[in-house]
Structure 1
Amino acid sequence: MPKNEEANIKPYLTQPGRTMILLPAALRNRLPFETMDYPVLLERYGYILLANQSLIHVPEEAEQPPVRIPGH
């Protein structure tokens, strides 16, 4: 990552919605401070994929299936 590249990334970090970053794993410590809490979604072949939101939404309370009465 070239020097001062952080300035190009920062405006995108404040946009609403999901932000994803793909970069070589060795450069993670050079990202802006705002990305430090982004979890690693995938790490492969020396690259990492970070995102500010999960790719899968798990509801807090799953709906219970209806109670089945045997024989009915």
Structure 2
Amino acid sequence: MTELLWDLTHTEFMDVAGLHLLFTTPAAEARRRTSVTGLRRQRLRVLHLAAGIDPTVFDLTRVCPPSPTTHAGNDA
């Protein structure tokens, strides 16, 4: 497997466990590209907070395409 796409469209909430899934790559899978789609407000906020705390570990360019897919609307 060379690519993994996480679709978070129906995910109501993301926390540290979600960050772990997106950013922890075992050495054997280091060449796998991980990306995410369906990011809504709460998930984007968690990603941006993590990137602000440690941009080296939580490098958003590793998981977000140049124009991330987001859903507008009422999302907490």
Whether the TM-score (by the shorter chain) exceeds 0.5 is no
TM-score (norm 2): 0.35
TM-score (norm 1): 0.36
Specify which structure has the higher proportion of helix: 2
Specify which structure has the higher proportion of strand: 1
